Amino acid sequence: MFISKKKPALVLMTLVSAMAIMSACGDNKSSNTLSNAVPTDAPASTNANAPAPAAEQSAAPAEESVDALYAKAKEEGKVVVYSTSGRANDAAETFMKQYPGIKVEVSKVKSDEMMDKVTKEQDAGQFNPDVIITKEVSGAVEEEMVLTGRYLKYLPEDIAPMVDEPYRTQAEAYANYVEFRTLFYNKSTYTEAPVTNWWDLTTPEFKGKVYTADPLSSPAFMDLFTTMVINSDDMAAAYKEKFGKDIVLNGTENAGYEFIQELFDNGLIVLKGSDDVLDAIGKTKSDALGLAVSGDVSKNEENGWTIAPIYDIKPKTSVPDSGYFFIANKAPHEAAAKLFIRWMMGEKDGAGEGLAPFNEVGSWVPRSDVKTKNDISFEELNLWLFDGDKLYNTAPKVRDFWIKQK
């Protein structure tokens, strides 16, 4: 996640045992990492897309080389993956061709369901998965799975210097791809983005013409609205820029809540999922707008849409939705897990075939040596910080407020 402003940097030391865990100094929370992971000794940044500080190039220890990992992985025979993304299946196909003798078993599980599944399994003494690929759940993944040692960070030392912050030293783990929720419009109706400010959606022009996937069933959508509440001063400033006057709250606590209330008052239409939203605005000519996943732009041709995303909205476009990589605590096939993660990261030079499913239009790979397929670079994205601590504590209240609006 994009680092919280209140959380100091954690200092992690390389451990003798690959699965050993230690508590790091900071705000009385523990941080867990595997051996051969990069030390997290850089200062925290308040800039969501701050460039990575200079880092020394360092080769992985001999016992962590690709050849050594492969030798151990062949003895293990397989790697078990729990993933929120189907991209893992595509990476698995090329991995098994590259590394014969290692079978990849992928189970697709939603992030919140994965937390429950792994917790129950580990509490029962069953350590089934090796690799965890997950999105955040309003800060709960870090709070309940990472800080408790159920999910362990693994970032190979020889790849780490190419990783952009905050994912190199400041985040809960390395994220192999970053998406976010943003507005989409129909290109057959508009030649350019019809809005530049979130408050545009509350005007008569867009009454009954704004769709969103249901945040009550998708934590990432709720994270965007919760982040608006957390950054209510930004929302208030954007209101004044739009309307030329200070915002007046109508029974709400701040400008973030006021925005949600005014969206509903202006006829917000809530559908089941992101694809439903884009079907509604993109299959036939429409002047409506839809809040959906940035990565869905890659499905334009497949789904018969004529949609385009908006990547610059005031005060901020969105909040990151990162696809994190972890190794599960007591992974039974640890060497194969490390080898598969390296493969999905594109190996040391970022050119490996395993990265291809993650480097798509609408997704960003936070590596300085990987060229994006998007018109805008990762560093140029105008995003809020993902503040897991505040999201974890604020999301339930925003969820309750949302329910009352319906």
The answer on pLDDT for 188 being more than 80 is yes
Please list the residues that pair with 167 across neighbouring strands. none
How many DSSP H helices and E strands does the chain contain? 11, 10
Model confidence band, residue 64 (pLDDT cutoffs 50, 70, 90): confident
Rounded Cα–Cα distance for residues 24 and 150 (Å): 16
Q: Tell me what the pLDDT averaged over the chain comes to.
A: 88
State in words which class domain 62-178+321-385 has.
Answer: alpha beta
Q: Is 250 exposed, middle or buried (0-12, 13-18, 19+ CB in 10 A)?
A: exposed
Task: State pLDDT tens for residues 253-287.
Answer: 999 999 999 999 999 999 999 999 999 999 999 99
When pLDDT is averaged across residues 353-370 and rounded to a whole number, the result is 96
**The pLDDT value given to residue 26:** 38
Residue 157 has pLDDT above 70, yes or no: yes
pLDDT digits (tens, 9 = 90+) for 15-27: 333 333 333 333 4
Q: Which residues of the chain does CATH 3.40.190.10 include?
A: 62-178+321-385, 179-319+396-405
Alpha helices in 108-196 (DSSP H): 111-123, 140
**171 token code pair:** 């985040």
Averaged pLDDT for residues 343-352: 97
For 229, the enclosing helix (H) or strand (E) is: helix 219-230
Which pLDDT does position 401 carry in this prediction? Answer: 98
Q: What does the pLDDT average to over 373-399? A: 94
* C-alpha span between 82 and 328 (Å, rounded): 9
> Residues with Cβ < 8 Å from 16, sequence gap 6 or more?
35
> Model confidence over 293-327: pLDDT tens digits?
999 999 999 999 999 999 999 999 999 999 999 99
Supply 32's token pair.
């867990």
Q: How many other CB atoms are there within 10 angstroms of residue 56's CB atom?
A: 6
- Specify the 3-state DSSP secondary structure of 89: helix
Average pLDDT over residues 191-211: 98
Q: Which residue has the higher pLDDT, 45 or 309?
A: 309
pLDDT confidence bin for 37, thresholds 50/70/90: low
Residue 15, judged by CB atoms within 10 A of its CB (0-12, 13-18, 19+), counts as middle
Topology adopted by domain 179-319+396-405: D-Maltodextrin-Binding Protein; domain 2 (3.40.190)
Element (H, E) at 73: helix 66-76
What's the one-letter identity of residue 397? K
Q: How confident is the model at residue 56 (pLDDT cuts 50, 70, 90)?
A: very low
Give the pLDDT band of residue 38 (cuts 50, 70, 90). low
Kindly tell me if the per-residue pLDDT of 14 is higher than 90: no
pLDDT of 379 reads 84
Taking only the tens place, the pLDDT of each residue in 97-152 is: 999 999 999 999 999 999 999 999 999 999 999 999 999 999 999 999 999 999 99
pLDDT at 17: 34
pTM for the full model? Answer: 0.85
Which neighbouring-strand residues pair with 363? none
Give the C-alpha separation, 229 to 232, whole Å. Answer: 5
